[in-house]
Structure 1
Amino acid sequence: MRALLALNGKIEDMEALRAILETLEIHFVVGVDGGIKHLQALGYVPNVMIGDFDSVELEGYAEVWPDVEIMRFNKEKDMTDAELAFSYIQDKRFNDIIAIGAFGGRLDHLLGNVFLLEHYPNIMLLDAYNRVKLLEGPAEKTLFQRKGFLSLIPITERVEGVTLKGFKYPLDDVVIKRGSTWGISNEFSAEEATIRFDKGKMLVIIAEDY
């Protein structure tokens, strides 16, 4: 079961994102504050709209979608709308959760959304050109990807036992330290590639040039 969250960040290429989403089966949809505008543009009807709604006029959307559940919060709160939505959807125990609109616009929100993955590792951030997921070791992941770049960014002090197969620059049981750019911009060299590491946490990013 897969859930889709739409956050309020700027989406650079709506049509390219639409093409990606059309390949996925979406079972549950959450509009997060101004992210409901993205859902309308993409043709999705949310199951839930959540946030303080300081970025969009909620009333108009409530009229368009009168049966949609609304979870409205005070503007003065200790969590961003994104974290409220991440917490809500994690409790629903979906196998696969995708968040769009997490990039673009304000840098503070972008960084906040990325680092939320440490607490919500079952969520992947997605746009037309980037996929961001957090993995915690011991972990092994097989990727089927023939274009784009792979970047590994440690968020713990060390990520140990990093092994890459099926990439232009393979690695064998190495340590990548936080702050190092060693893991940036690798390239796929095989249709099936593998990432494995023993200890630590890191962001796994698949990115394509615009």
Structure 2
Amino acid sequence: MTWEVLSMIGTIAFAVSGAIIAMEEEYDIFGVYILGIVTAFGGGAIRNLLIGVPVSALWEQGLFFQIALLSITAVFLFPSNLLKHWQRWGNLFDAFGLSAFAIQGAIYVSNMNHPLSAVIVAAVLTGIGGGIIRDLLAGRKPIVLRSEIYAVWAILAGILIGLKIASNSWELYILFGLVTIMRVLSYTYNWKLPIRRLGAN
């Protein structure tokens, strides 16, 4: 049940995030749906490729595709005058998606009895993969690679789940809240990892 709840939260959050960015870039309705779907399912597809699960397994998630499509439709039909104010919530939805999918990916691989390293990689790829694909398709530099601390929180989720520190439902929900809060704090206060610049400034 926890896995399904996190999957639902992540699907809605990343589908909305992708749709908002598509509309910011003035994509047409087809582009909005494509970017929303890719953001919601891209990370899981990459993870499945690396752990040997057929990508076709994604097509078995009919309910989540329906949830994603409904979420994108709701955003697309949202009144424009209100959506302008709502866009500031895009980062919050991105934080929800990162947290939910990082934990979901870690649980998925941990249940397959893979080693800690694989659990961490799965957490990172599932948590950030869709966002990277979204940003690339939107013609933006991926936020995870250049901006506030982002992937570190997915790594944290992977470590805690891989070491069985967070295993039962209430521990996983607490971890979801922790990762979300840390992601929100990192973009609110502009926390960054060290940067090495080459060349003259």
What's the TM-score bracket when you normalise by the shorter of the two chains? under 0.3
Q: Provide TM-score, normalisation by structure 2.
A: 0.27
Say which structure, 1 or 2, has more relative contact order (CA 8 Å, 6+ apart): 2
TM-score calculated relative to the size of structure 1: 0.26
Higher CA-based Rg: 1
Higher strand share: 1
